[in-house]
């Protein structure tokens, strides 16, 4: 899903964006640059030494000179090897650091985005960007850029040296250049197009795999393993096909450029051979010349290959920077207003309108609601009435489109997000845990809590009993999303987590699915304990909750239809009476929740 808001960078534009990230590593880069120059000079000197060696051996028939030059060459290459090693280490250390920072920066940018941002994207795709697009950039930084510098030096150096040796032969060598440029331009664009396609389909495939793994029970219960595997295979197949097309484009690029370059060498050999035969050139000079021609040919080939890499990296970088540049939908206030201390915890909705996007219908239309400090308000209404949406506006998971939500008289938009959210505890309908130990999950509520505090919170949430029953107690491992626990256990851990957070305001979304009577009782008890002394907005699905609440608010079609106590509403609100009648049959049968996911 492209982000239209971001600027498109040019092909080399990403290097400009990377430059500030390279700045802290200036000294290492300069040193690496110096090493590249020195090793390149050694390589460039090689043909000259070879000329001396050959001419000394063959023209002067001097065995001593031959030995000395051979030894000198060995020493020179030993030095070059050491310097190359140092240069590789330096560039690797810079690229590893820069790429790690880029990944961290991207994660920071993503984790600060609103739930709406994630609702519009596939999570697996974002993970893939974080892994593979950044990986492509790493390759270019680590190998591509140093090679670009080295081969550039080879090209210029060798050209200068051959021109000094024999300008006419140089012209023959240079015939390869326009051919290489043309071919590079033609094939390079294709390489980029296929690379972008590969990264995109790979991201889609990874996103699909991730979705399947996290919802494996749904997949298996519908017997869709084969079907999912085939869909995955189709996407991977498309990646493979594009990979092959890219390989063809690349091979075409390299092949054509190599042919042009080596064609030029043959031309030099032919022309130079005639000069040697005519006595205008020594054999040593021709060999030196040939070595330079090979160097030039190699440089042109490498630079063409590098062009392909650049095209690929540019596509990856573009997508990364689009994500990095994506503006936050929820901005931190420029000069945040502090919440009063101590916080009373009153919540007020003032003519609040909300829709999820400009082209979508209103979900909330002019909601006015006052929740006094310490009050328990039950929000009821038919499915889709906007109850969860209303609750989500308090911790600013979304911003109201019009109107104001405020806490103790301070609009939530003007409070620093961290302070705002620290004041609010949320127990969702289906609490999710993280893969880790029970303790890790509880500490999410307060990383600094002592083991005693953790246990106290677990006791108050009626979780200590079952935790103690586990072989590893608080260190028991719970699987991905807490899959190894029962629904009721997960809910009680989620409640304990909020106990540790000690928020002033609570948002509860009651589970609409039924737990067994015992488990239900424990969860209700834990929630009652949690609500004590806190301002609570509970999206109610149970009669008992509604009856206990200080006030009931009936939401219908995005507007408040009625408010009052249970008895008042039975008289006054047709919507409530209807919800209640449906609930009544269930209530007689036990404490089962409402049918159709509706509130009473």
Ligand X SMILES: Nc1ncnc2c1ncn2[C@@H]1O[C@H](COP(=O)(O)OP(=O)(O)OP(=O)(O)O)[C@@H](O)[C@H]1O
Mark the segment that binds ligand X (CB under 6 A) among 151-159, 274-282, 325-333, 383-391: 383-391
Give yes or no for residue 595 binding ligand X (CB under 6 A).
no
Q: Which residues pair with 107 in a beta bridge?
A: none
Decide: is 380 part of the binding site for ligand X (CB under 6 A).
no
Q: Which stretch, 93-101, 315-323, 386-394, 438-446, contacts ligand X (CB under 6 A)?
A: 386-394
* Among 24, 237, 340, 384, contact with ligand X (rule: CB under 6 A): 384
Could you give the CA distance from residue 83 to residue 94 in angstroms, rounded to a whole number? 17
Q: Are 541 and 594 in contact (CB under 8 A)?
A: yes
Residues 494-533 that bind ligand X (CB under 6 A): none
The residue ranges of DSSP E strands in 226-344, in sequence order, are none
Residue 43 in contact with ligand X, rule: CB under 6 A: no
Q: Mask 344-373, x = binds ligand X (CB under 6 A)?
A: ------------x------x----------
389 lines the binding site for ligand X (CB under 6 A) = yes
Measured distance CA(58)–CA(466) in Å, rounded: 92
Q: Where are the beta strands (DSSP E) in 441-546?
A: 477-478, 505-509, 535-539
CB of 585 to ligand X, least distance (A): 19
Backbone angles phi, psi at 19, to 5 degrees: -50, -45
Residues 540-553 as b or e (16 or more Cβ within 10 Å = b): bbbbebbebbebbb
The reply on whether position 385 binds ligand X by CB under 6 A is yes
62 binds ligand X (CB under 6 A): no
- Is residue 388 at the binding interface for ligand X, with CB under 6 A as the rule? yes
Q: What's the CA gap between 140 and 124, in Å, rounded? A: 24
3 state SS for 215-242: CHHHHHHCCCHHHHHHHHHHHHHHHHHH
**Residues 175 and 264: beta-carbon distance below 8 Å:** yes
Nearer to ligand X, 183 or 562 (CB): 562
Q: How many residues bind ligand X (CB under 6 A)?
A: 12
Where residue 400 falls (left for φ over 0; alpha for ψ -120 to 50; beta otherwise) is beta
DSSP 8-state assignment for residue 539: E
Residue nearer to ligand X on the CB measure, 237 or 597:
597
H/E element, 424: strand 424-427
CB of 595 vs ligand X, minimal distance in Å: 12
Site for ligand X (CB under 6 A): which residue of 119, 277, 567, 589?
119
Question: By C-beta, is 504 or 541 nearer to ligand X?
Answer: 541
Q: Which is nearer to ligand X, 408 or 510 (CB)?
A: 510
* Secondary structure of residue 145 in the 3-state scheme: helix
Return the closest-CA partner of residue 21 out of 324, 329, 326, 332: 324
**In 3D, which of 470, 450, 457 has the Cα closest to residue 425?**
457
386 touches ligand X (CB under 6 A) = yes
249 vs 391, which CB is nearer to ligand X?
A: 391
Residue 258 in contact with ligand X, rule: CB under 6 A:
no
Residue 597 touches ligand X, criterion: CB under 6 A: yes
Task: Give the binding range for ligand X (CB under 6 A) out of 247-255, 284-292, 321-329, 385-393.
Answer: 385-393
**Distance in Å, CB of 564 to ligand X, minimum:** 19
Contacting residues toward ligand X, per CB under 6 A:
119, 356, 363, 381, 383-389, 597
């Amino acid at each position: 899903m492209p982000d239209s808001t971001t600027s498109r960078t040019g092909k080399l534009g990403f290097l400009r964006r990377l430059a500030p990230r390279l700045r802290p590593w200036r000294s290492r880069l300069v040193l690496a640059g110096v090493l590249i120059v020195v090793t390149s000079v050694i390589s460039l000197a090689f043909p000259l030494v070879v000329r001396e060696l050959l001419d000394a051996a063959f023209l002067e028939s001097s065995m001593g000179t031959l030995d000395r030059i051979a030894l000198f060459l060995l020493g020179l290459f030993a030095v070059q090897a050491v310097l190359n090693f140092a240069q590789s280490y330096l560039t690797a250390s810079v690229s590893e650091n820069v790429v790690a920072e880029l990944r961290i920066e991207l994660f920071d940018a993503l984790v600060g985005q609103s739930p709406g941002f994630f609702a519009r994207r596939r999570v697996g795709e974002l993970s893939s960007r974080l892994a593979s697009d950044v990986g492509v950039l790493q390759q270019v930084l680590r190998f591509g850029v140093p090679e670009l510098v080295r081969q550039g030096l080879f090209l210029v150096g060798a050209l200068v040296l051959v021109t000094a040796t024999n300008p006419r032969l140089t012209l023959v060598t240079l015939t390869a250049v326009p051919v290489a440029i043309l071919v590079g331009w033609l094939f390079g664009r294709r390489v980029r197009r296929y690379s972008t396609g590969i990264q995109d389909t790979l991201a889609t495939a990874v996103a699909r795999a991730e979705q399947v793994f996290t919802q494996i029970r749904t997949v298996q219960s519908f017997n869709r393993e084969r079907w999912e595997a085939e869909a995955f295979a189709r996407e991977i197949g498309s990646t493979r096909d594009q990979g092959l097309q890219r390989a063809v484009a690349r091979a075409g690029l390299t092949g054509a450029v190599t042919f042009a370059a080596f064609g030029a060498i043959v031309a030099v050999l032919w022309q130079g051979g005639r000069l040697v035969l005519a006595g205008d050139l020594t054999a040593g000079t021709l060999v030196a010349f040939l070595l330079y021609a090979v160097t030039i040919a190699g440089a042109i080939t490498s630079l063409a290959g590098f062009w392909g890499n650049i095209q690929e990296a540019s596509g990856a970088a573009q997508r990364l920077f689009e994500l990095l540049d994506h503006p936050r939908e929820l901005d931190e206030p420029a000069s945040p207003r502090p919440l009063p201390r101590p916080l009373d915890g009153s919540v007020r909705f003032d003519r609040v309108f909300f829709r999820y996007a400009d082209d979508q219908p209103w979900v909330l239309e002019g909601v006015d609601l006052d929740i006094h400090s310490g009050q328990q308000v039950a929000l009821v209404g038919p499915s889709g009435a906007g109850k969860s949406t209303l609750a989500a506006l308090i911790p600013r998971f979304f911003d109201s489109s019009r109107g104001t939500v405020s806490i103790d008289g301070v609009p939530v938009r003007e409070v620093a997000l961290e302070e705002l959210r620290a004041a609010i505890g949320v127990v969702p309908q289906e609490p999710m845990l993280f893969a880790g130990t029970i303790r890790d999950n509880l500490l999410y509520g307060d990383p600094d809590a002592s083991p005693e505090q953790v246990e106290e919170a677990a006791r108050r949430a009626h979780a200590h009993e079952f935790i103690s029953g586990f072989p590893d107690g608080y260190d028991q491992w719970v699987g991905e999303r807490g899959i190894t626990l029962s629904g009721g256990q997960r809910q009680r851990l989620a409640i304990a987590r909020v106990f540790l957070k000690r928020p002033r305001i609570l948002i509860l979304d009651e589970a609409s699915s039924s737990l067994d009577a015992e488990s239900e009782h424990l969860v209700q008890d834990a929630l009652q304990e949690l609500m004590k002394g806190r301002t609570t907005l509970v999206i109610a699905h149970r009669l008992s909750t509604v009856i206990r609440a200080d006030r009931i608010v009936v939401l219908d079609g995005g507007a408040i239809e009625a408010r009052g106590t249970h008895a008042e509403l039975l008289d006054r609100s047709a919507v409530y009476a209807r919800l209640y009648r449906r609930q009544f049959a269930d209530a007689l049968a036990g404490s089962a929740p409402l049918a159709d996911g509706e509130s009473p």
